[in-house]
Structure 1
Amino acid sequence: MKPVVTRFPPSPTGFLHIGGARTALFNWLYARKTRGKFVLRIEDTDVDRSTRESVDAILDALAWLGIDWDEGPYFQTERKEIHNRYIDKLVASGHAYYCSCTPEEIDAMREQARAKGLKPMYNGKCRERGLSKAPGTVVRLKTPDSGVTVVNDIVKGDTAFQNAEMDDFIIRRSDGSPMYNLAVVVDDLTMGINTIIRGDDHLINTPKQILIYQALGADLPVFGHVPMVLGPDKARLSKRHGAMSVSEYRDMGYLPDAVINYLVRLGWSHGDQEFFTRRDLIEKFDLEHLGRSAGMFDLSKMTALNAKHIQAKTPAELGPLFLPHLQHLGIDAPDDVFTHQVIETLQPRSKTLKDMARAARFYYVDEPEMDEKAAAKFLTPEMADMLNQAADAIESLSDYTQPALETVFKKIMADFNLGFGKIAQPLRVAITGTTVSPGIFEMLLILGKEKTVQRIRRAAGRM
């Protein structure tokens, strides 16, 4: 049995969006699961719209997702000579022919067909004329006049297309450039692609591609056409449903492992399991459980899954992903033990790394930004004596540990006849500037005695 070879062939006319990322993921996972090969091919034949910026953005997004490739990236425009060699072979074998019909003649043929209630299509005028290559000629594939072309699809099952409804379609333009369907088949053949998983919007091209395979006497690959990704309202996914570019999710603070976990579950299932590590997906992914119904993209569900992935990672694993979000806030911090401690205190309550960075800001600045509403409510004149006593007691500690801090707070609670909550909130606002933070003790220990005392005194002074 031949090793599995899959591919992802994005068009560089924009950024990598969710649907394309999911297609890449399915092909990559299957190649990794079977220890096969994953090929990246840039289909840049739309020269007017293809840009290097889009190529770079696609490569960057795939790298961030952790989708690596074994071959490529190949560029379709660089393979024109190969495509034309196969076209010439089809002409020589009688499976294709030159056509000199003008666009006006083709339009007239279509109008005549419409007038008779038939499908508007080319009528095969040049099919048996035996024309040679000349200026203005195109090359058409000689398609069967009758019978059906069946797409054996591992997702959708068998779909039959009537050959009589397919005209002799063009495989090379008059300027010598190969058409998309021909280029795709030749590239897949020459690259050894034997498994093609793609969106079902490509299903309409598949019977034409099968006819090209058959004309070349080549074996067909395995086809699997997966339904599109839709928004929560069941409409085609668009920007109104949330960010569209994969890179936007990175900037919003999502983990690559969470994104691929969510994307794969939009069209594949493994029982009721929702949370998957990357290793889980590689071990368990299969083609048999690709779904036939469209996946509904829901940003809130991906966010909840992202929170679980944040909690499942070690602080050391999160460090390199977390620091860029701190840098976006103007904080340049090293990936060190202190940062790992900071991350650990924030993991249980962070839905995204962007949230985590905002919540971590107070650890790194000399003076935290004060929430005036929180200050007005908790940093009252009545609390000044309590805060000053807390600062004095903490400063005098020779052993700055949680048990020592607990002893300090118990004495303050007794001296001021206050419950822990009544002293914790003023302390929290004094230390962080807000009423929401990690646990008091873990926060004070990471911040250190000097900064803790400094902030408490500064808050007491503002009263």
Structure 2
Amino acid sequence: MSDKKVRVRFAPSPTGGLHLGGVRTVLYNYLFAKKHGGDFILRIEDTDQTRFVPGAEEYIFDCLKWAGLEPDESVQHGGDFGPYRQSERKELYKNYAEQLVAEGHAYYAFDTPGELEQMRQQYRTDENPAPQYDNKVRMQMRNSLTLDGDTVHELMHSDTPYVVRIKMPDEETVSFNDMIRGEVSFNTSLVDDKVLLKADGMPTYHLAVVVDDHLMEISHAFRGEEWLPSAPVHVLLWKYLFGEDKMPQWAHFPLILGPSGKLSKRDGATYGFPVFAMNWTDPKTGDLTEGFKEMGFLPEAFMNLLAVLGWNDGTEQEIFSLDEMIEKFSMDRIHSAGAKFDYEKAKWFNHEWIKKLTVDRLQLLVKEVLKSKGIEVADDELLNKVIDLVKDRCTLLTDFYEQAGYIFSKRLKALIYLLFSRNGMMLKPCSSRS
């Protein structure tokens, strides 16, 4: 570790429910920051306005609050490096994009959607079914590399839509050290000229993530391995704009796998278990996707099971509190191979945590479960005794209703009252709310 203060970030797009893989990325970032006395930043990447979903940003914060992973800096928490929403930083990115063009590392491209499709058809082969805008085709397209200066000036000042693309160098090797995978290398000729600035003036992820990580003084950039193919673009942008020596340390976390490959957001319905942290209702379709919280998982158990999906402390220990995870966490104990999610094992973790937690910690949670079933409990003393009696038999919080809900039902209380009355015994009438 260097003397530079540890600053890590999670940068979600507000496009829908928060997948358990995203929560694990948050958890690993959080554990690393707290282990080293650093800060955890949450930055909202909302530059793709076509994918923006109302309510998704608030949902992300709700999920992290439930999980106990509150950011040190964010849209909601403030901080010295804001704004923390990318759409509010729009002008910053344009300046950096123009700097890249001026220095010959990027170019303006004026190709229309029709021209791009024509290019794909022209260069499509059995070996290359999805041609890209790269060093092989860029000189056949309509951009500032192929057009004369006057034409480029005229197009840019006549409201003609254009994007800025990085100019990937030919036959160079880009390498960096990944804290999990060691040295990783790429041939630049195999990477396409990614769009950095879109026609609406918004940056793509590639430009924004580098600029924001620099300006927010991010020391370590941790993300899922699906972003590995983009790494050479980001390394070059760091080199061109700020110098490779200013680049954060990288780590790409392994995928979380389902029964038949990568566990995607759509797999919950297929496999019959949740993949989101909390319930998510699609505002367009009204479709509800159930989350771990509503299924009856404790946040302690959810964090525990996610932590060991790709990490261990080198011992046989499986049950960890958040404080224990912070103490024991290290990047060199994260596996590079994908980790398979096992729902039965996830429920085992929850069962162990229900047994482990105190009655006082469980009381409000069980009350919520019973209330969702139409039972409001006023007698906390009785509830605590019931929780202590049945908790070892409960795998999910929802099991408390099946194991003990009848004790608080109005029908049972009325029956007990009737039996006691018939035997000449006095019994205080039941509360209508319990």
TM range (shorter): 0.7 to 0.9
Counterpart residue identity of residue 145, structure 2: R
What residue in structure 2 maps to residue 86 of structure 1?
96
Name the structure 2 match of 1:143: 168
Cα distance between partner residues in 2 of 1:106 and 1:233: 35
Distance 1:101 1:54 in 2: 33
**Residues 87 and 202 of structure 2 are in contact (CA less than 8 Å); yes or no, is this contact kept in structure 1?**
no
Q: What is the deviation of 1:107?
A: 5.1
**Cα shift readout 1:373-412 (whole Å, capped 9, x = no counterpart):** xxxxxxxxxxxxxxx9xx98xx99xxxxxxxxxxxxxxxx
- Please give the alpha-carbon distance, in whole angstroms, between the structure 2 residues aligned to 1:335 and 1:51: 42
Deviation at 1:116, TM superposition (A): 12
Q: Could you tell me how far apart the structure 2 residues matched to 1:278 and 1:292 are?
A: 23
Matched, 1:288 2:332: yes
1:179-218 paired onto structure 2 within 5 Å: 179-218=204-243
1:228 lines up with 2:255 in the alignment: yes
Which residue of structure 2 lines up, in the alignment, with residue 245 of structure 1? Answer: 276
Task: Kindly report structure 1 stretches of 4+ aligned residues shifted beyond 4 Å.
Answer: 101-120, 128-132
| Distance in 2 (alpha carbons) for counterparts of 1:249 and 1:168 | 40
> Which amino acid counterpart does residue 81 of structure 1 have in structure 2?
E
**Higher share in helix:** 1
Are the aligned partners of 2:27 and 2:303 in contact in 1 as well (CA < 8 Å)? yes
Return the TM-score normalized by structure 1: 0.75
Match of 2:285 in 1: none
Q: Is the 2:255–2:262 Cα contact (8 Å) retained in structure 1?
A: no
Question: Partner of 1:26 in structure 2?
Answer: 28
**Taking CA–CA contacts closer than 8 Å with sequence separation of 6 or more, which of the two structures ends up with the larger relative contact order?**
2
Q: 1:187 and 1:153 mapped to 2: Cα distance?
A: 20
Question: Of 50, 53, 58, which residue of structure 2 is paired with 1:51?
Answer: 53
Cα gap change, 1:46 to 1:168, in 2 (>3 Å): closer
- State how many pairs are aligned: 380
1:262 pairs, out of 300, 305, 312, with 305
Q: 1:196 to 1:348 in 2, by over 3 A?
A: same
Deviates more, 1:78-87 or 1:236-245: 236-245
Aligned residue identity for 1:153: D
Match of 2:369 among 280, 303, 325: 325
3-state SS of paired residue (2:55) = helix
- CA distance, structure 2, for counterparts of residue 228 and residue 116 of structure 1: 29
The CA deviation at 1:94 is 3.5
Q: Which amino acid aligns with 1:327?
A: K
Tell me how far apart the structure 1 counterparts of residues 305 and 356 of structure 2 sit (CA, whole Å): 15
Q: Distance in 1 between matches of 2:49 and 2:115?
A: 27
Counterpart for residue 105 of structure 2: 95
CA separation of 1:274 and 1:59: change in aligned 2, threshold 3 A: same
AA paired with 2:27?
L
Task: Report the CA distance between 1:334 and its aligned residue.
Answer: 4.7
Structure 1 residues 71 and 99: CA distance shift in structure 2, 3 A: same
The CA distance in 1 between the partners of 2:206 and 2:91, in whole Å, is 16
In the alignment, what sits opposite 2:387? 343
CA distance in 1, matches of 2:393, 2:343: 18
Identity of paired residues, percent? Answer: 36
Per-residue deviation, residues 17-37 of structure 1 (Å, max 9, x unmatched) = 211111111111111111111
Find the aligned partners of 2:93 and 2:262 in 1 and give their Cα distance: 37
Contact kept in structure 1, 2:7 and 2:40, CA below 8 Å = yes
Query: What amino acid does structure 2 have at the position aligned with 1:159?
Result: V
Unaligned 5+ segments in structure 2 are: 76-83, 279-290
Deviation at 1:260, TM superposition (A): 0.5
The whole-number CA distance in structure 2 between the counterparts of 1:103 and 1:297 is 40
One-letter code aligned to 2:392: P
Sort the Cα spacing of 1:115 and 1:364 in 2 relative to 1 into closer, same or farther, 3 A. closer
Q: Given that residues 10 and 26 in structure 2 are in contact (C-alpha distance below 8 angstroms), is that contact kept between their aligned partners in structure 1? A: yes
Residues 32 and 282 of structure 1 are in contact (CA less than 8 Å); yes or no, is this contact kept in structure 2? yes
- Check conservation: 2:177, 2:250, Cα contact below 8 A: yes
Q: State the 1:158 CA deviation.
A: 2.2
Q: Contact between 1:111 and 1:120, CA under 8 Å: does it hold in 2?
A: no
User: In structure 1, the residue corresponding to 2:301 is in which secondary structure?
Assistant: helix
Partner of 1:121: 133
- Conserved in 2, the CA contact under 8 Å of 1:38 and 1:70? yes
Which stretch of the first structure deviates more once superposed, 110-119 or 82-91? 110-119
Letter paired with 1:202: W
Residues 86 and 114 of structure 1: is their aligned pair in 2 closer, same or farther, counting only changes over 3 Å?
same
- Aligned-partner SS, 1:353: coil
Question: Which 10-residue stretch deviates more, 216-225 or 110-119?
Answer: 110-119
1:301 aligns with one of 342, 345, 353: 345
Secondary structure at the aligned position of 1:139 is classed as strand
**SS at structure 1 position matched to 2:91:** helix
Whether the 8 Å CA contact 2:256–2:262 is kept in 1: the answer is no
Aligned to 2:190: 165
Paired letter, 2:362: L
- The CA deviation string for residues 274-323 of structure 1, in whole angstroms up to 9 with x for no partner, is 11111111111111111112111111111111111111111111122222
Residue number in structure 1 paired with 2:13 = 11
**SS of equivalent to 1:352:** coil
How much does 1:143 deviate?
2.6
Q: For structure 1, which segment, 139-148 or 259-268, has the greater mean C-alpha deviation from structure 2 after superposition? A: 139-148
178 and 310 in structure 1: CA distance in 2 versus 1, 3 angstrom threshold: same
**Shift of residue 346, structure 1, vs aligned partner:** 1.6
- Please state whether the residue corresponding to 1:89 is helix, strand or coil: helix
In 2, Cα distance between the equivalents of 1:57 and 1:110? 38
Q: CA 1:55/1:94 → structure 2, altered by over 3 Å: closer, same or farther?
A: same
